[in-house]
A and B are shown apart, each in its own frame.
Chain A
Amino acid sequence: MRAFHISCRDISWLGALILGIAIADSAAAAPAATQQLPGSEQIMHQQVGGTHIPRPATPDQLKNPYEGNASAAAEGRSLFNAMNCSGCHAKDAGGGMGPPLGDKDWIYGGEPGQIYLSILQGRPNGMPSFEKALPPDALWKLVTYIRTLGQSPSEPIDASSPAKQTGKAH
C-alpha cells in the first residue's frame, strides 16, 4: 500500500507525528506512540483545530480504500486511542463527551464517506476537525475501524438532511 511520508519536524502534522508508526510502511518497529511526542513546550499551544459547519457532503463519491481490510482496521484502532478519539468517545467508542460510535444511532450518518467527513471537518456540537492533524490515509483507517464497531445502518442516511441529524442528544 501507499503510505504518506511524514516529516517529524512538521509539527502541524502533530497527529501523524504521534502515530507516525501506524501510518508508516512497516508496522513492525512500533514503540509506544507517545514516546515520540515533542517536548511539552512545543506542543502546549498546538490545537487540533476548531469546528466548522460541514461543507455540503458528497459522501457517495468518497470511497474507503480500506473497506473491510482487517489490518487497516487494527491500525485505525490504535489511531483511535493515540489521537485521543477514545478520550472523548471512550475506549471501544462507548461514548462520553462525544457520542457512542458503535450503536446504529448516527447523527451525521454511518456510511464510510459520512464518517470520513465527520472526522475530517469536525461537527458543530464539539467534534474537532482533524483535517490538519491527520492525512486522508489515516482518516480512512479510522473509518475502517469505526465501521467494525457496529453494523452499518440498514438504510443509508443523507448527512445533509437535517431531519436525520437529531437522532442523538449531545
Chain B
Amino acid sequence: MHRNGALANRQYGTNVKKYASLSQAEWIAMKLANFVSRIAVSLLTVCALPVALAAPVKDSDWPMPAKDYANTRFSRLNQITTGNVKQLQLAWTFSTGLATGHEAAPLVVGDTMYVVTPYPNYLYALDLKSGGRLKWTYKPEPARAAQGVACCDVVNRGAAYADGKIVFNALDNHTVAVDAETGKEIWKTKLGDINLGQTMTMAPLIVKDKVIVGNSGGEMGVRGWVTALNLKDGSKAWQAFSTGPDKDVLIGADFKPYYESDRGKDLGVKTWPPDKWQIGGGTVWGWISYDPTTNLIFYGTANPGPWNPDLRPGDNKWTSSVFARDADTGMAKWAVQYNPHDLHDYDGVNEHILVDLTIQGKPRKVMLHPDRNGFLYVLDRTTGEIISANPFVYTTSIQKVDLKTGHPIVAPGKEPHTGIRVNDICPAAPGGKDWQPSAFSPQTGLLYIPHNHLCMDVTSTEVGYIAGTPYVGMEVSMKKGPGDYGGVFSAWNPATGKEVWAIKEHYPAWSGALVTAGDVVFYGTMDRWFKAVDAKTGKELWKFQAGSGVIGQPITFQGPDGKQYIAVLSGVGGWAGAVVSGHLDTRIPYGALGFVNAMKDLPNDTTPGGMLYVFALPGNTP
C-alpha cells in the first residue's frame, strides 16, 4: 500500500498520502487484527469499547457510508482488479419492497449487512453467511405526513455503526439506535417537528461516544442545526445552529475564521433582515468528516431560505458555509462562507474529504470539497484558508473564486431578482454536484466525482412564510447542459487542480463513488447501469444493468468466506429522479423545483423499485 502510494506520487508528481492511512506499526497491528477479526467483532458487540471506535476501520468492514472519518470511500481490498473485474457477477440480491429513491450505502460489520431504506426507513439486517438471508427488520414507523414536507423525495443516505449499535435518522426527525445483534431499539430521540417543515435524511457520523446528526428542510424555512447525541442513551450533548446569535451557533473565544468577512459578533443575526434568520435555512443534510488528530469535525451548511435572494438582503450567515468544530463541545474553531448571500441554491453540504497533500513543495493538511457552485475547493483544514478553487463543471454563474476574500465572483446578469427571468444559469440549483459523494484514492491521488451537467432558467417570485409549507419564491426550469447531456463522472487531480479524465452520462451521475486498491472505480447511472472503470484512465471495464436507476452509494467488503464483494442499492428517485418515483407530470417544467424539465425523458429509461445487488468474482476461494 505504501509502495503503491509512492508509485502514484511519482506518476502524478505529488506527494499524496491518505490522511487516515496507517503507519508501519499500525499496519502490522491491523494484519494481526485481521486474523482475529471475526472474534473481535463479536467482542465489540458485547463490550463498550470507546477506544476501539477511534481505531482505523477494518478492511473487511464498511461501518459508515463514507468508509472512514476522512470520507475517502477508498477500500484497501484488492482481489477485484482492473484485470479481473470484467468477470464480476451477481452473488445475491435483496428487494427492499419500496419504490422511492434509494440513496443509502449498505453497511457491513462482521457477518452482517445493514440496509436502511427510504421512508418508512426500514432497517434490514442480512446474513452474509447465507446469501443475504434476512436476520431481522427494524421499523421506526415515522409519521406518514413527513412524506409531504420532504423537499426532494423521501430518501435516506444511510446508517452508521459503533459500539454494537446501528444508528440512523428517520424522516420524521427521530434519531434511532438499534442493537446490531438483535434489532431491538435501544433509544429513539426526537429532534424536530414535521409541522415546521423539518425532516432528517442524512447519515449520522459517530465520533467517540457521540452521534452527530443534522436536519433537512432548507426549502421549508427550517433553521439548520447540527446536534451531538450521546451514543449511550441518545441524550443531547450539544447543538449548534447555523443561523442566529453566536451563543446558538456555538461561536466563542476559540473561533478564528481565516477571512475578514467571517469575523465579527453575532453575524448569524446581523447579516439578515430582522428575524429572518429564524426561518433562514442553513440545514445540515450532507456529510460530516472528522480528524482525530485535532478532534475537529467538518461539515457544510445548506442554502439560505427563501431561494429568492431579494427577500433576504445580507450575507445570510452561516448558510452555504463550512464549519470546523470541536467534536466534544461543538464549539466552532473556524468557518468559511462558500456562497455569501447565495443566489442559486448552492448549498455547502457536499463532502469534505480529508487528505494530506504536498502543494508547491509543502506538506499541507487539506480537505477537498466539490461545491454546489461548481468549484472544487482545496482548503487548509487547520485554518480554513482556501488554497485553490477551480471549476470542475461547466459554469456560467460564477466567474472565479477570489482567494483573497474567499468569495465567488458572480457573473454579471446571472443574479435572480423578483419578477425578472434569468436564463442559462449553470450550474443549476442542484449544483455542479449535489449530495452524491466522491471518492479519493491514495494510490492514484485522484478524486472521483459523480456530478451534474445542468443549467436553469429562473424567475424569482414573492413568497410568504407559512410554517410547514415550502418557502422558496423561485420558479425554476432546469435543462441538460450544453451538448444535451445531464451528468459527468470525472477524475480530478487536486494537487494540480485539473481534470484527468471524464465520462459523459445522459443523466446526472446521482450515485456515490467507490474506489478500491485494485484501482477500480464503481458508480451507478440513472439509466440503470452500474459501472466499473479504470481508476487511472476512466476506461469502462464492466457494467451491469440493474432493475431501476442507480443512485445509491456503492461499497465493498470482505465476506466471511474471505472473498471481496461489491454492493449497491438500485432504486431511482431523489430530487433528480422524483419525476419517476413521484410520478410527476412531464408536461410541466416546474415539477420537483424545476428538475422535471431536465429529466422529462427519464421515465423512458427506468421505473422505480428498490433492490440490493451484491457482486463477486466467480469461484469459491479468493
Contacts and interface: CB of A to CB of B under 8 A. Distances in A.
B404 interface: no
A40 B146 contact: no
Determine chain A's interface SS by DSSP, over half rule: loop
A9 interface: no
Contacts of A32: 462
Interface in A72-128: 81-84, 87-88, 90-100, 102-103, 105, 124-128
A100 B590 contact: no
A28 B442 CA distance: 67
B241 to A, nearest CB: 15
Contacts of A103: 583, 585
Interface stretch (B147-155, B354-362, B526-534, B537-545): B147-155
Nearest to A101: B585
Given A32-B462, A84-B470, A96 B592 contact: yes
Contact of A93 (B465, B466, B585): B585
Given A88-B470, A95-B583, A169-B100, A126 B590 contact: no
A128 B148 contact: yes
A94 B195 contact: no
A24 interface: no
Nearest to A82: B464
Contact of A124 (B144, B467, B587): B144
A37 B461 CA distance: 15
A44 B278 contact: yes
Contacts, number: 149
Given A34-B464, A37-B464, A170-B582, A95 B591 contact: yes
A93 B196 CA distance: 22
Contacts of B279: 40, 44
Contacts of A99: 582-583
A152 interface: no
B592 A48 contact: no
A100 B589 CA distance: 12
A65 B464 CA distance: 29
B147 A46 contact: no
B276 interface: yes
Interface string B154-197: 00000000000000000000000000000000000000000110
A51 to B, nearest CB: 5
Nearest to B579: A95
Nearest to B119: A125
Interface in A8-64: 14-15, 18, 32-35, 37, 39-41, 43-48, 50-51
Interface of B: 99-100, 144-151, 195-196, 219, 274-276, 278-279, 461-472, 475, 578, 581-585, 587-593, 596, 608
Shortest Cβ-Cβ A-B pairs, 10 listed: A126-B148, A87-B470, A94-B588, A94-B591, A100-B585, A95-B584, A84-B469, A47-B467, A91-B590, A34-B464
Interface of A: 14-15, 18, 32-35, 37, 39-41, 43-48, 50-51, 81-84, 87-88, 90-100, 102-103, 105, 124-128, 133, 168-170
